A and B are shown apart, each in its own frame.
Chain A
Amino acid sequence: MSVLLVLEQGLNGLQFGVMLFLMAAGLTLVFGIMNLVNLAHGSLYMIGAYLAATFFGWTGSFLLAVALSLLATLVVGIVVELTALRTLYERDHLDQVLATFGLILFFNELIAILWGRAALYTGVPPALAGYIELLPRLRYPTYRAAVILVGLAVALLLYVVVARTRLGMLIRAGASNRTMVGALGVNIRLLYTVVFGAGAALAGLAGLMAGPIYAVQPGMGEQILIQVFVVIVIGGIGSIHGALVGAILVGMVDTLGRAFLRPVLSTVITPTAADAAGPALASILIYVLMAAVLFFRPQGLFPPRG
């Protein structure tokens, strides 16, 4: 196991981490402000991936496909908010979970009807196809490097918006006391729709970037959604800061565990036993991490104030 391999897998972990962050940021904002548990967040990720693949096929331009699918996911998100989720804000969590579970069944089946159940494979855009040489002898796929850069840039942008702008101030105020913000004359309904739409667009962004890396298929949203839950629980629900730390942590642990747990184990126990235990252990590693964090800090690493 060379240092270069560890570095490469570390970058893969970072890449997975920023994608988790894009999902977690939207989910945690929506929860923080509207007190809504939205299981259908994964569906928006899936819709983003499918639309990007389709638009890329139609237009042949990756940038155009990105712009169109982002816009379309934003619109879908706002439509879902206006038609179905709006009535759920005042309901308890059980109702929210079940109703958004119903939405997931609907969206997965809708996608299966429109595109079929088989996985869709999308190519990497030609401009990002090659490798870049980060260090001598460390070649890293340009596309994955671009995903990392976009993810980090969005994280920075989110930080600036939430911490430095008027909109961000309203978002933070809404998270700590909704009623008071409404009483001060802010159109809280509009704020909800804006935040939900932004969260949907972030999920769509994660989805469209996922296309060329992972298989695009019905149900892809829930696979990542549950990992995003782990991220949020570790980071502390409602905290963007926590979402970022949790996402990078989960991304790293999951990727490095899958890559190195088996070889590391085989130095301790017999190779056959390591072959059996390695993958099993690697697939549950992030849940064990979550359990460990919760054992010491039931509210997550960075519980939001207020």
Chain B
Amino acid sequence: MGRRPRAVVVVAGLLLLALVPPVAAALAQPFYVDLFRRMMIFAIAALSLDLILGYGGMVSFGHAAYLGIGAYAVGILGFHGIESGLIQWPVAILASALTALVIGAISIRTSGVYFIMITLAFAQMLYYLGISLETYGGDNGMPLRTRSQFGPIDLRNPYAFYYLVLALLVLFLLLGARFVNARFGMVIRAAKSNEPRARAIGFSPYGYRLTAFVIAGGMCGLAGALLANQTEYLTPDFMHWTRSGEIMFMVILGGIGTLFGPVIGAVVLLLLEDVLSAFTAHWQIILGPFLVLVVLFAKRGLFGLVPDAGGRRG
């Protein structure tokens, strides 16, 4: 299959995603449009996590917080009558980027296990904050009155919404590729693989790491805005710590430190959940040990099985 098997997999994968709506229409199974759109939204969230986790070595266990903030931005603005997506989505991105700035500024000063626990604790704090927002549904959450309005692009049309999400996913994959290969991305990766050496050649990693953390937060915030539109409902559960764990598992399952890996991870994990939950209500008793086995024996993930071009290690 040529000399660039990974590129082939990426292009084939995206083409398959583009073919989902017509195939689902032909099979009269509109449910699959919904399912695959959900997968792509989580793929964007997982991709944003991989930028800091896989490339930056920052084990953030609170990534679902930004998903929640993006969703709440859409929900709260909609609640007060502002339904234009041109306002809602930028606010979602800005609000989550700002939150990431505060959380990152504190947590990146630490490292290792402190970093894991602190990001987890802050996400849990936002979860409890969401529960205490009685005006916006508190514990139960609240329905969205309508999906974000984009003038001629009507998100209530499942196909228009689907292709918008796909376009955003492709955009983020392209931006991600630029990000990791730019000077900025190189510094992040250098600081991950050998921090003293990165410092010795004159880079102070803190600012670079924080910037990456904020970018990932904003990106995940947009995924949250999409998720609120997808479910037309928002609940504090978007920010629950198990959600952060799930997003992290998508990254590992698909292939940490690759751009397309998180996409594969999101698709496979959500497909697996869908199949298992049809089979038994107690599907987590299968998913849990599966997760342990993947971590112990298949650390490079599914995309890691595909050989990389040019002998570079991914």
Contact = CB atoms under 8 A, between A and B. Distances in A.
Interface string B121-149: 11011001101111100000000000000
A190 interface: no
B61 A97 contact: yes
B129 A284 contact: yes
Contact of B292 (A102, A288, A294): A102
Interface in B282-305: 282, 284-285, 287-292, 295-296, 299
User: Interface majority SS on A: helix, strand, loop or mixed?
Assistant: helix
Interface stretch (A54-62, A132-140, A158-166, A222-230): A222-230
B245 A37 contact: no
Contacts of B288: 102-107, 109
B122 A226 contact: no
A109 B282 contact: yes
A291 B118 CA distance: 8
B93 interface: no
Given A106-B284, A294-B109, A295-B106, A279 B295 contact: no
A105 B285 CA distance: 7
Interface stretch (A3-11, A87-95, A149-157): A87-95
A233 B128 contact: no
B310 interface: no
Interface in B18-74: 53, 59, 61
B120 A229 contact: yes
Contacts of B241: 222, 226
A230 B62 CA distance: 14
Contacts of B285: 105-106, 109-110, 113
A41 B161 CA distance: 42
A177 interface: no
Contacts of A280: 129, 132-133
A108 B113 contact: no
A98 interface: yes
Contact of A113 (B118, B248, B282, B296): B282
Nearest to A222: B241
A102 B289 CA distance: 6
A87 B296 contact: yes
A264 interface: no
A105 B131 CA distance: 23
Given A37-B116, A280-B132, A294-B118, A101 B245 contact: yes
Interface in B248-304: 248-249, 252, 282, 284-285, 287-292, 295-296, 299
Contacts of B114: 233, 237, 294, 298-300
User: Interface majority SS on B: helix, strand, loop or mixed?
Assistant: helix
Given A276-B134, A298-B114, A291 B120 contact: no
A31 interface: yes
A110 B114 CA distance: 30
A99 B299 CA distance: 11
B202 interface: no
A287 interface: yes
Nearest to A37: B113
A298 B110 contact: yes
B121 A229 contact: yes
A200 interface: no
B311 interface: no
A155 to B, nearest CB: 22
Interface string A22-40: 0000000001000001000
Interface string B103-115: 0001101101110
A299 B125 CA distance: 21
B117 interface: yes
24 contacts: A37-B116, A94-B252, A95-B295, A97-B61, A97-B116, A99-B296, A102-B287, A102-B288, A106-B292, A107-B288, A110-B285, A226-B121, A229-B117, A229-B120, A229-B121, A233-B117, A233-B121, A237-B113, A280-B129, A283-B125, A283-B132, A287-B122, A291-B122, A300-B114
8 nearest A-B residue pairs (beta carbon): A102-B291, A106-B288, A105-B288, A287-B125, A280-B132, A109-B285, A102-B292, A283-B128
